[in-house]
Structure 1
Amino acid sequence: MTEQTQRGLAGIILAGGRSRRMGQDKAALEWDGRPMLNVIADAIGTRCDPVLVAAPASSQAYAELGAESPLRWITDEQVGTGPLGGIVAALTAAKEAGAAAAFVCATDMPLVDADLVDELLRALTSSPDVVIAHEGGRDHPLAGIYRVRALPVFEALVEQGELLMTNALDAVLTHRVGVSDPRWLTNIDAPEDLHRLRAGA
């Protein structure tokens, strides 16, 4: 933990996606000579402790990186429950570790920066359960801070078979904020996205 790490703030990286459009696991994609997952973990690790990686034990990410990664993997999410299921599993672990909230992001956001965490934290007053980035006219639920007190609501939604993050955000008090650098929110869905981002980096 660095001196800048926020007390009570965990980090959650969602790595359970199937990466159909990419054709290979995105967590293991090379970025600056390292797996993208590790780059993201280092970036948010300056603000978050612990950093948790949510992915089913059956996922490609866990198969490729889990055994060798020093990161803490949370593998007990219900398969097929999407990002919300990963958030529930990892937020439960964050709560058990003593965190009051967690910064949540996806494993395909190589430009994510600690400054994004800081900006969202500044918007986290006592009222909201969740603070997410809102940019380009749309929400970015996988760039947000989630309080552990919202867990019962999210758990109930997963039990009901709810998969949509938009519905999960509507079920709690969510605050949306603009961010100073939209590049932080860039995600990679397909090989052409990766090539374009590498060319512009």
Structure 2
Amino acid sequence: MIFGLVLAGGQSRRMGRDKAYLEFEGETLIHRAIARVEPQVDVLGLSTGPNRERLSEIDLPRVFDLEPSEGPVCGILAGLAWARASGGLGARLVTVPIDCPHIPFDLVRKLTLQTDDVVFASSAGRHHPVVGSWPASALEVLLDAFHRGERKIDRLAEQIGWTAVDWATDPKDPFYNVNTPEEFTALTPSAS
């Protein structure tokens, strides 16, 4: 069983306002992420960090961080616990952030071809650790590394091994993410 998790728990400090509600091509980033990922997975959930009220209008299962204010790694670990409790040891969790408006429609298929390792998306010569596929069976190993102080997603993934699947960046990078008003402005067609 494949679970999807939209990571929407960030504080959007550099953007200066909640990225989830930024409008791009007629829809908010949160609704765009959901629309792109939901058809690709068996069950889609929403990670809102420790804030239980945020995005309450979204009708998806909620996954709350195990530890508050520790970054996206906490959302991923909580998502793995959710996927494992709901789908067993054979479940996989595919994670995506809300701030990548061009998530490809073949994301889940390509990230789940390899089943033993963590699989990250890659483009333009770099991997994107928040866009990945995680085996639920690795939860204990990952939690152990987290409790030893590891907070970097790719270093956690090294505990069980990881690979990357590459996507072309022409005509656009599918994993371009927006963190600042300038990056968001550069994303819009009128900026070119």
Q: How many residues align?
A: 187
1:199 aligns with 2:189: yes
Identity over aligned residues, as a percent? 30
Alpha-carbon separation, structure 2, partners of 1:101 and 1:154: 14
Distance 1:200 1:175, change over 3 A: farther
Amino acid corresponding to residue 147 of structure 1 in structure 2: P
Q: Give the TM-score normalised by structure 2.
A: 0.88
Unmatched runs of 5 consecutive residues or more in structure 2: none
1:143 aligns with 2:136: no
| Runs of 4+ in structure 1 over 4 Å off | none
Give RMSD over aligned pairs.
2.0
Amino acid corresponding to residue 119 of structure 2 in structure 1: V
Q: Give the TM-score normalised by structure 1.
A: 0.84
2:9 to 16, 23, 28: 16
Amino acid corresponding to residue 100 of structure 2 in structure 1: M
- Aligned-pair distance for 1:104? 0.8
Per-residue Cα deviation, 1:43-94 (whole angstroms, up to 9, x for no partner) = 11111121111122337xx52x22x111222124311221111101011111
Unmatched runs of 5 consecutive residues or more in structure 1: 1-7
Alpha-carbon separation, structure 2, partners of 1:102 and 1:22: 27
- Aligned-pair distance for 1:180? 3.4
Distance 1:200 1:97, change over 3 A: farther
Q: Does the CA-based 8 Å contact 1:84-1:154 persist in structure 2?
A: no
Map of 1:94 onto structure 2? 83
Alpha-carbon separation, structure 2, partners of 1:158 and 1:19: 23
Matches within 5 A, 1:37-48: 37-48=30-41
Q: Does the CA-based 8 Å contact 2:130-2:153 persist in structure 1?
A: no
The farther-off stretch of 138-147 and 175-184 is 175-184
1:119 aligns with 2:110: yes
Amino acid corresponding to residue 192 of structure 1 in structure 2: E
Q: Does the CA-based 8 Å contact 1:78-1:85 persist in structure 2?
A: yes
- Aligned-pair distance for 1:179? 1.6
- Aligned-pair distance for 1:188? 0.5
- Aligned-pair distance for 1:200? 6.2
The farther-off stretch of 40-49 and 74-83 is 74-83
